Amino acid sequence: MTELSTPYAPSREGLRGAYRTMRRIRCFEERLHAEFAAGRVPSSVHLYAGQEASAAAICAHLGAQDYLHNTHRAHGPAIARGADLIAITKEIYLRAGGLCQGKGGSPHLHDARLRLIGANGGVGSGAALACGSALAIRHRQENGVAVALLGDGACNQGVVSESFNLASVWKLPVVFAIENNGYAEATATSYAIAGDNLAARGPAFGMPSTRVDGADYFAVHEAAGVAIECARSGGGPSLVEIMAPRFYGHYEGDAQKYRAPGEVAELRRTRDCLTRLRQRMIDEYQFSTAEIDAMDAEIGVDIDRAFAEAAAAPPPDPALLMRDIYADRSGL
């Protein structure tokens, strides 16, 4: 892949923002895990804990003119993109005031104002939708980029290969970011996917590609920056494979019998992107433990407020059931 025109040189403020985003995602997911276990969450959820560096690093490069196409593992990228934390929580609780007014739930978070083009249950479909967003960017002559988040399992869907081909043929300003957590639901990537490197598919479609450690925020930030700058400058699509372990099951309630005993504990010990970033901020960028702890406390207050407001919010008004479902053509 091409080199960044300006190499990544993190500022203290940039690192502070990255840590806050990743910590907010982690705290949100851990709280949601507890709330679901207590029976207080009415919709199915897929947690993003362990993969925070991916969303935080990618979204650090995105502006208001850019699109992000999410997956069903939706909370982390929505938070990283800047969606309102209370509205996210209300949506997961299927309450009025949620991002989709309580009609979508956890796997369908969407915020058109942020060009966060919904998480959806159609595995791999975000690749095709991102091509559409990229084509719209071109027709409107915007200096934008579309990013499609995909899981490793999605790469076995035909629509993903078709999207790779279309994006490359048309040189669309799109980045395909594969968040490889090693499992498609309960099926190991090593069992279901030919070859051991999804990034190798990029050159087959004429796209530059790279593979990075998803536990290393710095590595993901640099790789995402290269790919996004390539797309933004007219260089066409790129593929970035991010090796990002998940710390919970495919969904809440997943017994994870397909994982080896102690596997998750070992991943938390050796490949925790949040722990690594925190330690590097202290060791290399002169952050104090007290300074980081203060950020943690502030984020904890925000999380408490979001869950309290969501739990107290009313359900959607049945009279508004069909609103936002069909286009309003009354003024045409």
Query: What is the number of structural domains in the chain?
Result: 1
How far, in Å, CA of 132 to CA of 155, rounded? 18
Nearest CA among 11, 113, 30, 116 for reference residue 69: 116
Does the residue 149 lie in any domain? Answer: yes
How far, in Å, CA of 116 to CA of 88, rounded? 12
Q: Residue 286 belongs to a domain with what CATH number?
A: 3.40.50.970
Inter-residue contact 272 to 213 (CB < 8 Å): no
Q: DSSP letter for 67, please.
A: E
Does the residue 323 lie in any domain? Answer: no
Does the residue 257 lie in any domain? Answer: yes
> Would you state the pLDDT for residue 326?
80
3-state SS record for 259-317: CCCCHHHHHHHHCCHHHHHHHHHHHHHCCCHHHHHHHHHHHHHHHHHHHHHHHHCCCCC
Nearest CA among 81, 87, 39 for reference residue 58: 81
Nearest CA among 245, 199, 189, 205 for reference residue 223: 199
| Amino acid, res. 299 | I
Does the residue 263 lie in any domain? Answer: yes
Does the residue 325 lie in any domain? Answer: no
| Tens digit of each residue's pLDDT, the chain (332 residues) | 544 445 667 899 999 999 999 999 999 999 999 999 999 999 899 999 999 999 999 999 999 999 999 999 999 999 999 999 999 999 999 999 999 999 999 989 999 999 999 877 789 999 999 999 999 999 999 999 999 999 999 999 999 999 999 999 999 999 999 999 999 999 999 899 998 899 999 999 999 999 999 999 999 999 999 999 999 999 999 999 999 999 999 999 999 999 999 999 999 999 999 999 999 999 999 999 999 999 999 999 999 999 999 999 999 999 988 887 787 777 66
> Please, which residues bridge with residue 188 across strands?
183
Distances from the Cα of 280 to the Cα of 2, 4, 277, 313, 330, angstroms: 27, 22, 5, 40, 56
DSSP assignment of 126-146, as one string?
HHHHHHHHHHHHHHTT----E
Does the residue 4 lie in any domain? Answer: no
Which domain covers residue 284, as residue numbers?
12-313
Does the residue 219 lie in any domain? Answer: yes
Q: DSSP letter for 41, please.
A: -
Nearest CA among 119, 79, 81 for reference residue 100: 119
Does the residue 328 lie in any domain? Answer: no
Please say whether the dihedral angle defined by the alpha carbons of residues 217, 222, 225 and 227, taken in this order, is positive or negative.
negative
